[in-house]
Structure 1
Amino acid sequence: MIALQNNAYKSIGLELLREFIATEELSHTNFFQLEELLSITAYEYRKGRISKDEISKISLGFGKEFLENTLHGRGFLKPNGYPGDYLFLDRIYTNHISEDSKYKIWDEYVQQSAAPNAVRNRKEYFKHLAKAKAKLASSIKVLNIISGSGRELVELYNAEKENIFTTCVEIDDEAIAFSKELNKAHLERIEYVNSNIFRYQTEESYDFIWSAGLFDYLNDRAFVKLLRRFKGCLKKGGEIVVGNYNEAHNPSRDYMEILGDWHLIHRTETQLLQLAKEAGFAEHEIHVSRMPDNVILYLHIHCL
C-alpha cells in the first residue's frame, strides 16, 4: 500500500512540473509554485522514486526555441560541453535578461535565485581579496584557476590596480578569446594559459591562488591532489582561496539539479577543513569564510 502511495505521489509531482513547464506561463507571483514543484520532485528523485532518465527529460518540455534563447536553456544544453560555461556565468555576472517577453520572465527567475546571486557575490569576494592584498605590496602575482570570461578581472583592472599581475589557466579556448577581448586594455598584466589544470606546469610562485568554480566538481581525491600541487606554487606569506557550494545551504539546489541538470559536490565547513589537512596544511594555516548569503564556502589556506 505504501509503495502504491509513493508511486501515485511521484507521478503527480512529475506531471504537475511537466504541465507547469509546458505552459511556460511563469510570473513573479508564481515563482513560489515552481519552487514547490521542484522541491517535491527533488525529494522523490533523491529518494530513488524518480529515475535519472525521467529527470533529464523534464527540461525538454520547454522546446528547442525556448532552450536556445534563455539563460536556463544555455545552462541545460551546455553548448560548450560542460555545465556553467563562461558565457552562462558571464550572463549571470552582468544580470542578463532577455528583451523578448517570451523569455524575459524565465531569465528573471534564474537571476533572482540564490545560486546566481552567490556567483555575483563570488566575483565581488575575489575583487575584495585582490585589492586588499595589492594594498600591502608593491606588486602581487595572482593565479586564477578556470578563469572563464574574465569579468572579475576587467572590473578589478578598471579600478586601476596596476600592481596586480594575473595568470589565467583555462581549458576552454573560447573563454580565453572572450576574456582577452573583454580585457584588451589590460593584457600587459594578464597571461593566458590554455591548459587542463591537472596538466598545468609552472615554476612561478604566486601571492594569491584563486579557484572559485572548480573544486565543487572534484571528488575528494582530486580535491586533495590539486591542493597539494597548489602548495608548491605558493609564495611564503601567500594564500590559496577555494570556493565550494555549501552542503548545508543552497536554496537553488533543487532548480540546479532537476531543471538545470547541474550537479555539484556540495561540502560542509568541516569537510573542507579536513580535505585541507589531508593535503598537508596545518590547522593554524586554514579557515573557512563565507558571504552573508552562506551559499558558497571559501576555504582559505595561508602559507605562513
Structure 2
Amino acid sequence: MPPLVLQERMYDRRGGVVPLMQFDDLLRELIASGGPMPQEYALLNRTLRQLGDAVRAKVIARDDVLAYAQDITHRHLEGTMQARALGKKFGYSGDFEMIEAIYTLQTAQEPHLRRWDLYFHSQAAPNAVRNRKAYFHQLLHSHSVGRSKAPLNVLNVASGPARDVREWVLDNPEREVFFDCVDAEIHAIEHAKKLCAPFAQRVELYHRNVLRFLPAKGYDLVWSAGLFDYLADRSFVYLLKALMAVTRRGGEVVVGNFSDFNPSRDYMELLGDWVLQHRTRDHLRELALEAGAAADSIEVQWEPEGVNLFLHIRR
C-alpha cells in the first residue's frame, strides 16, 4: 500500500482504523524519543494487544496493519530484529539467522535502534526460544548420564544454526554423543559447519528437506525445536510418523511447538509477519495419537515461559 494511501486510511477515524491510529501515535512518540525504555514496554504491549483485538474482531484488516508495519519499519527501524523478521531473507521470519540472533541476544549498534532490539528480546517468544536451547541440553544430559559404553545417537531436525549442538559438545567433551543435523536451508548448513568445525567427528550435517529425507539410522533421541509449528496438521502427522520410525526402542522423540498461550503473538504476527501454527497440549496429544503413538507413551511438557510446548513420545 503506498504511504499516502496508508496515511489516509490510518487517520480516518471511522471504525476499526482508530486502533491503528492510536498505535501509530504511540510508536511515533517512541521513535522520536529514541526507542522504548523498559518502563514503557507494558504500555506498548497493551496498545499492540488492542490493535490485535481489532484485527481479530475484523474491524481492521491484518493486511492493512502489515502494510503499515512494513512502511514504518522501512522508514525508521531498518537494522532492527523487527526489520529482520519482516524482511524474510530466506523466505520466512524464523530463519537460522534470526534464531542465532535470538540465542546470542544480538542488538543494533545504533542507540536508537538498540532500544527496539532490547524490547524485542524482552518478549516472551524470544525468551522461550532461548529456553528451548536449555531444554534440549537438559534432554541430552538426561539421556546420556549414566549411560553404558554405547554412544548416544541424536537426530536434530531443522537444526538451524546448530549453536545448541556446539554449546553442548563444548560443555560435555567427555560424553559419547553424536549428532546428525538436518536442515533444508543450505545457508544454515554452511553456518552450522563453521560453528561445529572443531567437532566434525561428532556432528554430521545434511542439507535435506526432512519431509522427503531422513538419515537411515536408528536414534536414541530425536529432537525438533522449531519446525512443527510451521506445519499444517497433515504434514505434522506425516513427519512425526517418520521420526518415530527412525527412533530406537527405548528412545524418545521430542518436538517443540508454540502453545496457544503466547503473549508475543500480536507483536510477532502484526509487526513481524511471523505466523506460526499455535497448538494446545490436547491438540498435540491428538496429533501424536494420529501418528500412531501409544497413549501411555505421550507426554507434553513446556519451558519456563509456558510459550513453547514439547511433545514427548517414548518408543
Q: Which amino acid aligns with 2:263?
A: P
Deviation per residue, 1:172-194 (Å, 9 max, x gap): 11111111111111111111110
Pick closer, same or farther for the CA change 1:191–1:67 going to 2, 3 Å: farther
Contact 1:66/1:73 (8 A) holds in 2: no
Task: Normalising by structure 2, report the TM-score.
Answer: 0.90
User: 1:95 and 1:66 mapped to 2: Cα distance?
Assistant: 21
Contact 1:131/1:161 (8 A) holds in 2: no
User: 1:127 and 1:65 mapped to 2: Cα distance?
Assistant: 40
SS at match of 2:254: strand
Q: Which residue of 2 aligns with 1:276?
A: 288
Residue 221 of structure 1, aligned match among 234, 259, 284:
234
Q: Which residue of 1 aligns with 2:248?
A: 235
Structure 1 residue 95, shift from structure 2 partner: 1.3
Q: Which amino acid aligns with 2:152?
A: I
Pick closer, same or farther for the CA change 1:64–1:279 going to 2, 3 Å: same
Pick closer, same or farther for the CA change 1:59–1:144 going to 2, 3 Å: same
Q: Aligned runs of 1:245-256 on 2, under 5 Å?
A: 245-247=258-260, 249-256=261-268
Pick closer, same or farther for the CA change 1:77–1:290 going to 2, 3 Å: same
Q: Which amino acid aligns with 1:148?
A: G
Structure 1: gaps (5+ residues): 1-6
Residue 61 of structure 1, aligned match among 49, 55, 71:
71
Structure 1 residue 109, shift from structure 2 partner: 0.2
Residue 163 of structure 1, aligned match among 158, 168, 176:
176
Deviation per residue, 1:187-229 (Å, 9 max, x gap): 1111111011111143211000001101111111111111111
Contact 2:158/2:184 (8 A) holds in 1: yes
Q: Which residue of 1 aligns with 2:99?
A: 89
Q: Which residue of 2 aligns with 1:129?
A: 139
Q: After the TM superposition, which segments of 4 or more aligned residues of structure 1 sit over 6 Å from their partners?
A: none
Pick closer, same or farther for the CA change 1:57–1:207 going to 2, 3 Å: same
1:35 aligns with 2:45: yes
SS at match of 2:16: helix
Contact 1:22/1:61 (8 A) holds in 2: no
User: 1:235 and 1:98 mapped to 2: Cα distance?
Assistant: 45
**Please, which moves more after superposition, 95-104 or 111-120?**
95-104
1:211 aligns with 2:224: yes
Residue 155 of structure 2, aligned match among 134, 143, 152:
143
Q: Which amino acid aligns with 1:265?
A: Q
Q: Which residue of 1 aligns with 2:14?
A: 8
1:293 aligns with 2:305: yes
Q: Which amino acid aligns with 2:184?
A: I
SS at match of 2:199: helix
Q: Which residue of 2 aligns with 1:180?
A: 193
Q: Which residue of 1 aligns with 2:206?
A: 193
Deviation per residue, 1:110-153 (Å, 9 max, x gap): 00110000000000000110122111433111110110111101
1:21 aligns with 2:27: yes
Residue 118 of structure 2, aligned match among 108, 122, 143:
108
SS at match of 1:292: coil
Structure 1 residue 9, shift from structure 2 partner: 5.0
Structure 1 residue 291, shift from structure 2 partner: 1.9
Q: Which residue of 1 aligns with 2:5?
A: none
Q: Which amino acid aligns with 1:258?
A: L
Contact 2:15/2:59 (8 A) holds in 1: no
Contact 1:21/1:61 (8 A) holds in 2: no
Pick closer, same or farther for the CA change 1:166–1:66 going to 2, 3 Å: farther
SS at match of 2:220: strand
User: 1:64 and 1:36 mapped to 2: Cα distance?
Assistant: 23
Q: Aligned runs of 1:47-58 on 2, under 5 Å?
A: 47-58=57-68
Structure 1 residue 20, shift from structure 2 partner: 3.0
Q: Which residue of 1 aligns with 2:8?
A: none
Task: Normalising by structure 1, report the TM-score.
Answer: 0.93
User: 1:241 and 1:29 mapped to 2: Cα distance?
Assistant: 37
Contact 1:290/1:296 (8 A) holds in 2: yes
> Once the two structures are aligned, what percentage of the paired residues are identical?
36
User: 1:12 and 1:191 mapped to 2: Cα distance?
Assistant: 53
Structure 2: gaps (5+ residues): 1-12
